[in-house]
Structure 1
């Protein structure tokens, strides 16, 4: 899942972190793509692959809540974002 593709677009996951509640992604995406559409698409693809690998998950009505948080990094370096994600672990 290092590369996520949608139609003609390609989203590259550059880092991720799993905590007990949140899954953090740092994604490079085209500026014309809506963050809401990207979040919805990532959740949908992840759900599809997880249900395929773990059939018992098909019994659940949903794997994710409908909520998400998106922020742009602007002029912030990738290292600053990675440090932020690392600091979120255990919170």
Structure 2
């Protein structure tokens, strides 16, 4: 993995983020997992973040992502969880039964 360079700094910012559906329900399967992956890839591409690794298990997600120094881990989580929650709950009725898609952590 190469360091990134700009006018005044050299950096390598990597975050390993893990989050789970509410009540750790195993809902990230089949078409939901495929759509979730596409949404995460789409959001990261829009923001200019490089996905190093993305693993979606039925009851949790691992995202290893490379970002710029101005981007906090909270920014990444907010953007990705917000988009995926909104879009997936709109598409799949089974997810609307949960009080929210993701845990607060």
Normalised by the length of structure 1, the TM-score is 0.56
Of 26, 40, 43, 1:4 maps to 43
Q: 1:41 — aligned with what?
A: 79
Unaligned runs of 5+ in 2: 1-37
1:15/1:26 contact within 8 Å kept: yes
Q: Distance between the aligned counterparts of 2:47 and 2:56, measured in 1?
A: 25
Alignment partner, residue 59 of structure 2: 21
Aligned residues: 66
Q: Distance in 1 between matches of 2:42 and 2:58?
A: 24
Contact conserved, 2:56 with 2:62, CA < 8 A, in 1?
yes
1:22-66 deviation per Cα after TM superposition (whole angstroms, max 9, x unaligned) = 200111211111111211211111112211221443343310101
CA RMSD of aligned residues (A): 2.4
Normalised to the residue count of structure 2, the TM-score between the two structures is: 0.50
For residue 12 of structure 1, report the CA deviation from its aligned partner.
3.1
